[in-house]
Amino acid sequence: MLNPGHNGGDASNPGVISRQVPAGFGQSKGCDTTGTQYGYSEHAFNWDVSRRVRTILQSRGVTVIMTRPSDDGIGPCVDERARIGNKAGVAGVVSIHADGAPSSGHGFHASENSRRPDGADVAAASHRLTVAVHDALLAGSGMTTSTYLGSNGYYPRSDLAGLNLATVPATFLEIGNMRNDGDAAIQTSPAGRQRIAAAVADGVLRWLAR
């Protein structure tokens, strides 16, 4: 499953996306957020890259589902996104985002859950998925690993509902800083987004042993 973060209708519906929903480990958080709004919107970047990844994976015989059907809707809420990924038959979940950090920082990072609630097997598979996509992004996206967050492009987290609530292997990608000129040049270019998508798809295919 591909989970393109946020949605184009979120910004105009603050009452909907601020509604509190379960986020795992006893936490609650807002249904969704608008994502980074800086020139090229993050929700549009996430959607475009996810569609490109889907096309590549489908060409290799992989069945792909998405958490949202378009870039002009609202949500779905983060807990609903997790429920979609937990459906029977889903091998793994890749959440696709971009960051909005201080402009001096650049690069991508990948997150896996820092405390899995559902056993060592899923945790190990999530780690393998995270490493596979991380290595593919480093080799093929045109970006470096993050200079401002995490270590060597890895940033484990326990505050993301999509990771906390997942019962299947899951990883969460922040593919560059939209406020950094170098990263933004890649993100706003169709060729740059295609390069990112090809790297993500390559990592997924390696993880699936396709």
Instruction: Note whether 141 and 84 are within 8 A (CB).
Output: no
Mean pLDDT, the chain, integer: 96
The pTM (predicted TM-score) of the whole model is 0.97
Q: Name the H helices within the chain.
A: 14-17, 42-59, 78-85, 120-140, 161-164, 181-187, 190-208
Strand partners, 81: none
Nearest residue to 94 via CA among 15, 192, 193, 5: 5
The C-alpha atoms of residue 161 and residue 23 are separated, in whole angstroms, by: 4
Cα(first)–Cα(last) distance of the chain, in Å?
Answer: 16
Tokens of 22: 């379960």
Please name every residue paired with 110 in a beta bridge, in sequence order, or none if there are none: 154, 173
Amino acid identity, position 122? V
Question: Taking the domains of the chain in order of start, what are their residue ranges?
Answer: 2-208
**Known catalytic residue at 174:** yes
How far apart are alpha carbons 82 and 59 in whole angstroms?
25
Q: Give me the mean pLDDT over the 41-53 stretch.
A: 98
How many angstroms separate the CA atoms of 189 and 176, rounded?
Answer: 13
Tens-digit pLDDT profile for residues 72-96? 999 999 999 999 999 989 999 999 9
Q: Is 32 exposed, middle or buried (0-12, 13-18, 19+ CB in 10 A)?
A: buried
Place of tokens 């060729």: 191
Q: Active-site residue among 42, 80, 112, 174?
A: 174
The CATH class for the domain spanning 2-208 reads: alpha beta
**Separation CA 79–CA 72 (nearest Å):** 20
pLDDT in tens, 108-155: 999 999 876 567 889 999 999 999 999 999 999 999 999 999 999 999
